[in-house]
Structure 1
Amino acid sequence: MVKILVTGAEGQLGSEINAIANQYHDFQFFFTDINELDLTDKVALDAFVENVKPDYLVNCAAYTAVDVAEKDTELAGLLNTKVPGWIGKLAVAHNFKVIHISTDYVFDGTSYTPYTENDLVNPESFYGKSKLNGEIALLKESKSAMVIRTSWLYSATGKNFLKTMIKLGLERDEVKVVNDQIGTPTFAGDLAQAILTIISKTEDKECIWKPGIYHYSSEGVCSWYDFAKSIHEIYDIDCNVRPIPTEDYPTPAARPAYSVLNKSKIKRIFGIQIPYWRDSLKKCIVQIKK
C-alpha cells in the first residue's frame, strides 16, 4: 500500500484531494492540517513523518493571505520558506518523494508569452518571494522533489475569488473588477486529479518520476474581469461587472500583470490532460449550487 501524507488538507487543494482519494484503492492517505500537525513545529513534523513513514508527501500547506503577508512576514516566511526546506531534509532522511505547490507570483508579470519553468523569476511581493525561497529550499535539500506552480486557484470550499464574486453579485447591483491582470483560473479539483495521476502513473511504471519544477493551470487565458463575468453568467447572477485598471484597486501586495503558465512540460512528461477554464468553472459552480 502506497502511503501518501497530505499537509494543508483542509485548504482548497487538500480538500479536493480528499474528495477523490477513495478512487485510488492502492493508496493509503494521511490527511493533516494544523489541528493534527503544526508544520511550523519542526520536532512535531519530524515525529509525525517518522510515525507515518510516507512514500509521498503532498505539501498543500502555505501562507496564502497575499496582502497580509506583506506585514506578517515572520509567519509567512516560516510556513512558505522554512517548512519546505525541512520537508526536503526529511524526504532524504526517510526516502520519500515530495510534491510541493507553488505559485505564479514568483514571476513579475512583464512577459507577454506564457511562462515556462526555465523563465526568469522575479517576485514583486513578499508572498511571492517567500514561495520562491521555499522552492529553492526544498530543491536544495531534496534532489527527488517536485514543485508544481499554479495560478488563480479556486474551489467550492474556502475563501477565493469565485466565492467572493458570487457573494457580492447576489448582494450588489454592481462590482468593479480589474481587467488588466491576465492569467488563468485553476480549479483545485483538476490540480488534485493531476497530482494523484502523477503518483499513480509513477507507481504503475507508466511514467518515470522526474523531479524539478512544473507548471499547472487550466487551459485558456482571461482577465479577472472576464473571470468575474463568467462566474455571474454561469451562476445566473444579474449584476453589472465594471472593468477597472489595477491603479484604481490598489493592494498592499503587487500582483503580476501577466502570469499565464506554459504547461507543455507536465503534459509531455506525465501525459496530463488539462481542461479549459470555463468548463471547469461550470463544474465547480454545479458543486456550489448543490
Structure 2
Amino acid sequence: MRKTTEERIARLFTDVEATVRLHAVDVCSGREISVAADEQVVLASVFKILLVLEFARQAAAGQIDPRERVLLSAADRLGGWGTAGCADDVEMSLRDLAYFTMSVSDNSAADALMRRIGVDTVRLLAAELGLDRTRVVGGPRELLRSMFEDAGARDEAEFAASYPGLDPQRIRGFRALDPERTTSGTARDVTLLLRLIWQDRAGPAAACAWVRDLMARQAFRHRLASGFPDGVLVSAKTGTLPGRHIEAGVVRYPDGGEYAVAVFAETAGLAPGQAAVDSAIGRAARIAVDDLRSAASGADRPLGPA
C-alpha cells in the first residue's frame, strides 16, 4: 500500500533514530502538511525570527534608530558564532546586530537586541499575531544561564569543562530542553509567523521585507536548503540544542510558489552534529513541498524544477 506523505516523513526520522514535528503550508493557498504540528516544542534559536521582527517593526515605526551603536564587551559574549566568538570588544549598529542574529545565529547580538527592545514587547508581538501556543521566557542569556545552573556550573568555562562528563539523563532534564520551562511554541505557530511575514501582515511592509532579506542571508545550508535544487531560494533560521535539530523557513520556487516549513527533530543521542538528521530535515521538507506543489499543479501553477 502506498504510504501517505506524513508516513514517509515520519519514517525518514525513524530511520535516523529521531522523532519529528513538522508543518508545511502553501503561503498562497493555505494547503498544509502536518506531522504532530500542534505538539509543544522548544524553539531554541528559531525564536530569533520573532525577536528581529519586533526590532524591525520598531525601526519602521521610528521608535528606535537602527543606526544606534552598541558596544559588546567580554561580559556580553555568550559563545557561538559571530560577535559571540570575538576576542576583543566590538561596536556596531543595532541593524548589524540583527544581521548577525539571523545570518549566523549570533547569541551575543541577539541578547543585545533583546535588552534594547525588551522581552515584554516580544511577548506582546506573539499575542498580537495570534501565536497562541508561543511562550517567550527570555533570550539567549536566560537560556544559557539555565543550562549552566542545571549542569551545576558557575560560568561558560566551567560548563564547557563539565558538560562532556554529565549523565545524559541529567542533560535531558535541563529546563532548556523542556517546552514547559523554556521558550517554546509549535511547528504550526512558526509557519503562521512565517506566512504573516511573507504576506506583509506581520507589521509594516518594510519591516517584513527586511526580515525576509535577513533570512535569505542565513549562512547555514545543511538542513532545509539541502533538500532543494539550485534555483530554489530557501530563507530560513536554524536552531540547535542537545538532542534538538531545528529549522524553519520559506522555500520559494522560480514560478513564484512559496511554502513555509518548520521542522523540529528530536534525537535519542545528544551530539550537536548529526549529519543524517540534518539531511533528513531537508529531505522531509522536500517531500512536504513536493506534495503541496502537486496539489496545486492542476490549479494555478506548474510544478517547476524537481
- TM-score category of the 2 structures, normalised to the smaller one: under 0.3
Higher relative contact order, structure no. (Cα contacts within 8 Å, ≥ 6 residues apart)? 2
TM-score (norm 2): 0.27
TM-score (norm 1): 0.28
